[in-house]
Structure 1
Amino acid sequence: MTAIGKHSNQMTPVGGSEGDVSREGGVISRWAAHLAGQRPVEIGQTLPPHSPDCAGCGPDNPAGLHLRAVRTASGVEAVHCFDEAHVGAPGIAHGGAVALAFDDLFGFVLYTVGSLAVTRSLTVEYRAPFRLRQPYTFCANVAQREGRRLLLHAEARDDNGRKVGSAEATFVVVGAEHFAANAGQGMSPGECDLQMRDPRGPSNVPSSVAVSYVHSQPSVEVQ
Structure 2
Amino acid sequence: MTWEPPHDGPLPQHHHNCLGCGDRNPHGHHLQVRLEGGALHARHTFDERHAGAPGITHGGAIATVLDDVFGFAGYLIGQPAVTRSLSIDYDRPVPVGAICDITARLERREDRKLFLTAEGVDASGARLFTARALFLVVDLQHFHGPRPPDSSARSSRTLL
Q: 105, 110, 115: which is aligned to 1:146?
A: 110
Question: Which structure is higher in RCO with an 8 Å CA cutoff and minimum separation 6?
Answer: 1
Task: Please give the alpha-carbon distance, in whole angstroms, between the structure 2 residues aligned to 1:160 and 1:41.
Answer: 30
Consecutive unaligned residues in structure 2, runs of 5 or more: none
Q: Which residue number in structure 1 is paired with residue 50 of structure 2?
A: 86
Question: In 2, are the aligned partners of 1:148 and 1:222 still within 8 Å (CA)?
Answer: no
Q: Which residue number in structure 1 is paired with residue 21 of structure 2?
A: 57
Question: In 1, are the aligned partners of 2:73 and 2:81 still within 8 Å (CA)?
Answer: no
Q: Which residue number in structure 2 is paired with residue 156 of structure 1?
A: 120
Task: Please give the alpha-carbon distance, in whole angstroms, between the structure 2 residues aligned to 1:42 and 1:219.
Answer: 37
Cα displacement string for residues 105-153 of structure 1 (whole angstroms, at most 9, x for unaligned residues): 0011221211111100000100001111110100001001001100000
Output aligned runs, 1:9-88, within 5 Å: 36=3, 38=4, 40-43=5-8, 45-88=9-52
Q: Which residue number in structure 1 is paired with residue 77 of structure 2?
A: 113
Task: Please give the alpha-carbon distance, in whole angstroms, between the structure 2 residues aligned to 1:169 and 1:99.
Answer: 11
Consecutive unaligned residues in structure 1, runs of 5 or more: 1-31, 186-211
Question: In 1, are the aligned partners of 2:56 and 2:96 still within 8 Å (CA)?
Answer: yes
Task: Please give the alpha-carbon distance, in whole angstroms, between the structure 2 residues aligned to 1:168 and 1:72.
Answer: 19
Identity across matched positions, percent: 40
Shift of 1:219: 5.7
Q: 47, 64, 68: which is aligned to 1:100?
A: 64
Shift of 1:73: 0.7
Task: Please give the alpha-carbon distance, in whole angstroms, between the structure 1 residues aligned to 2:151 and 2:87.
Answer: 24
Scaled by the length of structure 2, the TM-score of the pair is 0.91
Q: Secondary structure at the match of 1:164?
A: strand
Output aligned runs, 1:179-194, within 5 Å: 179-182=143-146
Question: In 1, are the aligned partners of 2:38 and 2:76 still within 8 Å (CA)?
Answer: no
Q: 120, 131, 151: which is aligned to 1:216?
A: 151
User: Counting strand residues as a fraction of each chain, which structure ranks higher?
Assistant: 2
Q: Which residue number in structure 2 is paired with residue 166 of structure 1?
A: 130
Cα displacement string for residues 21-71 of structure 1 (whole angstroms, at most 9, x for unaligned residues): xxxxxxxxxxx8xx63x4x4222x110000100000000000001110111
Shift of 1:216: 2.5
Task: Please give the alpha-carbon distance, in whole angstroms, between the structure 2 residues aligned to 1:219 and 1:85.
Answer: 36
Task: Please give the alpha-carbon distance, in whole angstroms, between the structure 2 residues aligned to 1:148 and 1:180.
Answer: 19
Task: Please give the alpha-carbon distance, in whole angstroms, between the structure 2 residues aligned to 1:160 and 1:124.
Answer: 21
Task: Please give the alpha-carbon distance, in whole angstroms, between the structure 2 residues aligned to 1:99 and 1:166.
Answer: 10
| Aligned residue pair count | 158
Moved over 6 A (4+): none
Cα displacement string for residues 158-192 of structure 1 (whole angstroms, at most 9, x for unaligned residues): 0000111010000011112221125xx6xxxxxxx
Task: Please give the alpha-carbon distance, in whole angstroms, between the structure 2 residues aligned to 1:166 and 1:93.
Answer: 15
Task: Please give the alpha-carbon distance, in whole angstroms, between the structure 2 residues aligned to 1:85 and 1:222.
Answer: 34
User: Counting helix residues as a fraction of each chain, which structure ranks higher?
Assistant: 1
Q: Secondary structure at the match of 2:26?
A: coil
Shift of 1:215: 3.7
